[in-house]
Structure 1
Amino acid sequence: MSRIDRVALLCCLLVAASVPVAAFALSDKKSPTSEEVSPAEWRRQQLAAADKSDEIMHKAQKQPGLLAQYMLMQSNYDANADRAFRLIFGQYLSWFQTWIADYDGASRSFSIAQPAQSDDAPSPLTGGYRMRPADEVILELAKDRKAIFFNEAHSAPITRTLTVELLARLRAQGYNTFAAETLYISDKELQKRGYAIAKTGFYTSEPIYGEMVREAVRLGYKVVAYDAENAGVGDPREKEGAETLANLFKRDTNTRLVVNAGFAHIQKSGVYLRGSSMATFFRRLSGVEPLAIEQTMMIEHAREDQNHPYYVAAKNAARTNHPFVFIDDAGAAWTLKPGLYDVSVFFPPPTTIENRPNWVSLDGTRLPYQISSDICRGQFPCLVEAHYTRESDDAVAADRVILNVVDQSAPIEQRLLANHVSERSRLYLFPGEYRVSALDRFGRTITARNVHIGAEPAATGAKSP
C-alpha cells in the first residue's frame, strides 16, 4: 500500500472505528446519529466513500500543477452531496486546500469537533491556574528533556506555527534532531538540498510545513524521516516508527529530539486505534520520557458548536493574539487529557485581512507583500506563489494565494471557485529575496517578478496574557 493510500485508510478507520461519529463534522452538516444509520451501515458507506476519494485524489494528482489539482478536487466535492462522501472526501479536499494556502476553506471542508468528554481535566479557569505565553512555558519545560513531541491537525496548519517559531530556541537549548511523520524516507537529498519539494512528504507541500522543514535544516538539525510507509495502521505502524526514533538514542546518547506528528500519535498512554500510540511505544523502547505538547484540541473550529467549552471560555477571557497555556503556582502546566499529554496549547481565534489569517505571519516575523489581479493578466483563477530566489522552481513555495475575479458572463471554467472571489490579497514572507510568479490552471507561468522584502520591524502586539 502506498503512503497516500495508507493516509486515506487511516482517515477512514479513525471515523469508522476509533472516534465517536458525532466528533467528526462538516461545517454545514452533522454526522448521522445511530438512530438514523446503524454503525455497520455507516462504516460501509464510509469505506465506499474512502475508495471513491482515493480514486479522485489519484486522478487529481496527475493534473498539471496545484491549482488544477485543487479545482478537480473541489468540483468533485461540489458535485456529490452524499453525507458519507462529503465527510470522508472533505478531509482529502482540505489537504489540497492547505497546499494552496486556503486555510479557511480547509477548516470548512473538514474539522474534528472537540466536545467535552468524561476524561477531561477540570477547567483551568475554575481556579489555581493562570495564563502564560505558550512559547515561554514550553521552553522552560523542555530545557532538561531529551525529547519533545508536538502534534498537529493536518487540515489546520495553525497547529504548525508554534513549532516553527520554537525550532531556533530549542536548537539553542541543545536539541539537535528533528523528525516528522510526513517525511518520505525516499528523499535522500533533503538535508543537502535544504528545502522540501513535492517528493519530500505528503503534507510538506503546505507552505508553513515547508518553512518548518526549511528552518530545521537551516538551523543544523539532523532531519529524520521516521514513519513506517508500508506498515498499514495501528500497532505495526506505531511500533515501527517508535523503533526508528528510539534507535536514534541508541546510536548517539547525546541525541535531543524534536518530533512533529499528527493528532494522537504523540499521546503517551492509553488506547490508540485499538492498540498503542507511537509515543507509548517510544517510551517503552527508549526509556526516554518525551514532553508531549497537544495542539489540536484547543483551536477555533469552523463552527462554534465544534469548539470545546473550555476553549470558548478561555478565548473570551484571553487578551492576546498569541498561543497560550495555563500553569499553576508550582509551575505545572495544565492539560485537557492528563496522562496522555503534558501541555495543552490554546490558539486564539485568527483575525483575517484580505482573506489571510493573521497567524500566517508567524508572530509578525513574516511581512505582508500586497498583490493584485494585474499579476494574473486577466487569466483567472490564478495561483500566485513566492519562492526564495536561492531555491529551484520545484521547491515548496514560501507562501501562496489564489486570485479570482468572478464575472457572471465569463465561461464556466472561470467561475468554479466561488469561494475565491478576490482581486487583491497578500503574501507573508520573511525578509529576503523572492521570485513571485502567477500560474494559470495548467501550471504555466503568466508573469514572474523578483521581489525584495525588507527587514522592517514586525508588529507583534501585546504578548503576555
Structure 2
Amino acid sequence: MNAMIRPRNPCLAALLLAAVASAASAQVPSIWREQQLEAMDKSDAIMQRAHDQKGLLAQYQVMRRAYAADGKPAFRAIFGQYLSWYQSFLGDYRDAELAFSIQQKPLADDNPSPLAQPGWHHLRALDYIPQLAKQYRVVFLNEAHNIALTRTLTVRLLKPLREEGFNVFAVETLYQPDMAAMKERGYPIAKSGFYTREPIYAEMVRTALKLGYKVVAYEADPDRTGDAREVQQAKHLWKILKDDPHAKLVVNAGYGHIQKTGQFLGAQSMAEHFVKDSGINPLSVEQTILIPHLDGSMNHPDYDAIIGAVHPDRPIVFVDKDGKPWSLRPGYDVSVIFPEEHFVNGRPTWAGLWGARVPYTVNGTVCQDHWPCMVAAFYADEGEDAIPADRMVLDPVPLMTIDDIKITSGNYSIPTGQLYLRPDQRYRLVISSERGQRIGSQTITVKSSDKSLTSAPPDSPRAAICSVAAVGQAAIQPVPCQNR
C-alpha cells in the first residue's frame, strides 16, 4: 500500500461507531454493518485511485466526485470521513467539518456543568494546563482527526510544556521509517505520517522538533486492530519511559484513546492499558467534545451554555476555588472549551493559532485563471518536499460544487483568501494548478500586520482572456482561462 494512504485498521472501529451514531439508527444493525464494510472497501478503492493522480488537489477532485456519485447513507457515512481528511489537508477546514462531524450528545455520566456549581471559574487553557502538568510525567492530549481546530491548542502548549521539562513528543499515526530522516530534516513531509499532510498537524510536529523534543512514533502494527491496537500503543509508550528514566512524555492521540477509565469501543483504551502497564497516572486533556459545530444542533448542550455565559476568545478550562480542574466526562482530568468559530474569506480565524500567526491576504489574480488553484506558503528554509505552513484553494466556484462548471468567458468575482503565517518569517509562496503544475512562486516576509500579495480588489471582474502575472514576476503572455 502507498505509504501516504491511510491504513484502514487503526480507525475501523471508530468509523463504524461514528457512522452508526450519525446515519441510520433505524436500520437493522447487522445489515447496516454489512453495508458499512462494503462502503469501506469501496472507499479504500477510491482512495487508491485518487493517489494515482499527481498532486493533492487532483486527488481530492477524484474523491469529491466519487462522493457525489453515490448517495447511499452507508457510503456517505464512511466516505464522508475520508473526504473530510483531504479537505483538511487542503486547508478547507469549513468543508471538512461539514463533510464529517460527530454530534456531541449529553451522556448519563456527564459531570454537572461548572456554571451550575458555586466556586468554579474559567481560566485560559494555555496558562493553566502547563501549571497543572507540573504534577505529571505524562500528558495525553487528544484531537478529532478531521477537525484541525482540536490541534491548535496542542501546538501552543508544546513550548510551555517543554519549559516544564517535557522532552518527548509521541504522535499517533507517524510512520516509523521516516523518524530518523525527519529529525535530520527538521520538518515533516507527506511520508512522515498520514495526518502530517494537514498543515496544522505538520506545524505541531515541526514545532516540537524546533523546541528540542524527541519526536517518536508509537503506532501499532497494521495487523493490530481493536483492543490489540490499544494494547500495543500503550506498550510502545511505556517502553519509551522504561528506556529513559529522564523522559517526560507528551502524547498526541485521537478521541477516546486517552480516556483513563470507562468502556472504550467495547474494550479498554490505550490510556487505560498504559496506566495498567506502567502504574503511571497521566494527565488526560480532552479537546474533542466541547467544540463548535457549523450545525449548532450538534453542539453539546453544556458548550452552548458556557459560550453564552463566558464568550471566550481563547480556549478555556474551568477550575474550582482550590484549583481543581473540571472535566465533562469521567476518564479525563480536564476538558477544554473552544471559542465559537469565525470565518474570514471562508477560512477560520483559529488558524491563527490563538495569536501565534497573522492573516496574509492573497488575491486570486495570482492563479492566472487556472481554476481551482492552490496557494501554499512554505518556510523559506525548508525543502520542496515540506508540508507547507498553510495552504488553501482559491476558486470562484466552491470546492464542493460537483457539476462540471466551465469558466471560460464573462464576468465573475475573483476569490480572495487568507493564509495564516507566523510573523517575521520568510516564506516561499507557491501557486499551482489542479494538476500540480506550478503557476508562479515568490519569496515573502510576513510582518505582524496583515499584508496583501496583490492590491487588486477582490471583486474585480475578469474577462475570457487572462494575462495576470503574480507580483514580483515578469508579465506573462495572455493565456486562455482554464476550465474547472
> Normalising by the residue count of structure 1, what TM-score does the alignment of the two structures yield?
0.90
Which residue is 2:362 aligned to?
Answer: 371
Quote the offset at 1:426 in angstroms.
1.1
- 1:276 alignment partner, one of 245, 268, 273: 268
For 2:242, what is the secondary structure of its paired residue?
helix
User: In the aligned structure 2, how far is the partner of 1:75 from the partner of 1:401?
Assistant: 19
User: What is the one-letter code of the residue matched to 2:49?
Assistant: K
Which residue is 2:107 aligned to?
Answer: 117
After TM superposition, the structure 1 = structure 2 runs for residues 23-422 of structure 1, keeping only pairs within 5 Å, are: 24=22, 31-34=23-26, 37-128=27-118, 129-187=120-178, 188-338=180-330, 340-406=331-397, 412=404, 414=406
Which residue is 2:475 aligned to?
Answer: none
Quote the offset at 1:321 in angstroms.
1.1
Kindly indicate whether the alpha-carbon contact (under 8 Å) linking 2:9 and 2:223 is maintained by their aligned counterparts in 1: no
User: Taking structure 1 as reference, are residues 10 and 46 closer, same or farther at Cα in structure 2, changes over 3 Å only?
Assistant: farther
User: In the aligned structure 2, how far is the partner of 1:9 from the partner of 1:413?
Assistant: 37
After TM superposition, the structure 1 = structure 2 runs for residues 414-433 of structure 1, keeping only pairs within 5 Å, are: 414=406, 423-431=415-423, 432-433=425-426
Identify unmatched segments of 5+ residues in structure 1.
25-30, 416-420, 458-465
- 1:449 alignment partner, one of 442, 445, 451: 442
User: In the aligned structure 2, how far is the partner of 1:200 from the partner of 1:132?
Assistant: 35
User: What is the one-letter code of the residue matched to 1:434?
Assistant: Y
Identify unmatched segments of 5+ residues in structure 2.
408-412, 451-484
Which residue is 1:461 aligned to?
Answer: none
Which residue is 1:21 aligned to?
Answer: 20
Which residue is 2:477 aligned to?
Answer: none
User: Taking structure 1 as reference, are residues 399 and 5 closer, same or farther at Cα in structure 2, changes over 3 Å only?
Assistant: closer
For 1:199, what is the secondary structure of its paired residue?
helix
User: In the aligned structure 1, how far is the partner of 2:191 from the partner of 2:418?
Assistant: 27
Q: Give structure 1 regions of 4+ aligned residues with deviation exceeding 3 angstroms.
A: 1-12
User: Taking structure 1 as reference, are residues 15 and 215 closer, same or farther at Cα in structure 2, changes over 3 Å only?
Assistant: closer
User: What is the one-letter code of the residue matched to 2:112?
Assistant: P
Kindly indicate whether the alpha-carbon contact (under 8 Å) linking 2:5 and 2:47 is maintained by their aligned counterparts in 1: no
For 2:192, what is the secondary structure of its paired residue?
coil
User: What is the one-letter code of the residue matched to 2:324?
Assistant: A
Kindly indicate whether the alpha-carbon contact (under 8 Å) linking 1:6 and 1:233 is maintained by their aligned counterparts in 2: no
User: In the aligned structure 1, how far is the partner of 2:196 from the partner of 2:241?
Assistant: 26
Paired residues, number? 439
For 1:390, what is the secondary structure of its paired residue?
coil
For 1:132, what is the secondary structure of its paired residue?
strand
Q: Deviations over 1:75-115 (max 9, x none)?
A: 11112111111110000000000000000000000011110
User: In the aligned structure 1, how far is the partner of 2:5 from the partner of 2:200?
Assistant: 24
RMSD of aligned C-alpha atoms? Answer: 2.1
Which residue is 1:462 aligned to?
Answer: none
User: In the aligned structure 1, how far is the partner of 2:103 from the partner of 2:186?
Assistant: 36
User: In the aligned structure 2, how far is the partner of 1:5 from the partner of 1:102?
Assistant: 19
- 1:437 alignment partner, one of 430, 442, 457: 430
User: Taking structure 1 as reference, are residues 3 and 228 closer, same or farther at Cα in structure 2, changes over 3 Å only?
Assistant: farther
User: In the aligned structure 1, how far is the partner of 2:14 from the partner of 2:221?
Assistant: 18
User: Taking structure 1 as reference, are residues 371 and 310 closer, same or farther at Cα in structure 2, changes over 3 Å only?
Assistant: same
Larger Rg: 2
Q: Deviations over 1:374-406 (max 9, x none)?
A: 111111100100101111111001000111124
User: In the aligned structure 2, how far is the partner of 1:373 from the partner of 1:229?
Assistant: 44
User: What is the one-letter code of the residue matched to 1:181?
Assistant: E
User: In the aligned structure 2, how far is the partner of 1:296 from the partner of 1:159?
Assistant: 6
User: What is the one-letter code of the residue matched to 1:353?
Assistant: V
User: Taking structure 1 as reference, are residues 336 and 197 closer, same or farther at Cα in structure 2, changes over 3 Å only?
Assistant: same
User: In the aligned structure 1, how far is the partner of 2:9 from the partner of 2:246?
Assistant: 37
Quote the offset at 1:135 in angstroms.
1.4
User: In the aligned structure 1, how far is the partner of 2:206 from the partner of 2:54?
Assistant: 25
User: What is the one-letter code of the residue matched to 2:40?
Assistant: A
Q: Deviations over 1:135-162 (max 9, x none)?
A: 1221121012101000000010000000
Quote the offset at 1:20 in angstroms.
8.4
Quote the offset at 1:454 in angstroms.
2.2
User: What is the one-letter code of the residue matched to 1:313?
Assistant: A
User: What is the one-letter code of the residue matched to 2:91?
Assistant: A
Which residue is 2:482 aligned to?
Answer: none
For 1:216, what is the secondary structure of its paired residue?
helix
Quote the offset at 1:271 in angstroms.
2.1
Kindly indicate whether the alpha-carbon contact (under 8 Å) linking 2:7 and 2:222 is maintained by their aligned counterparts in 1: no
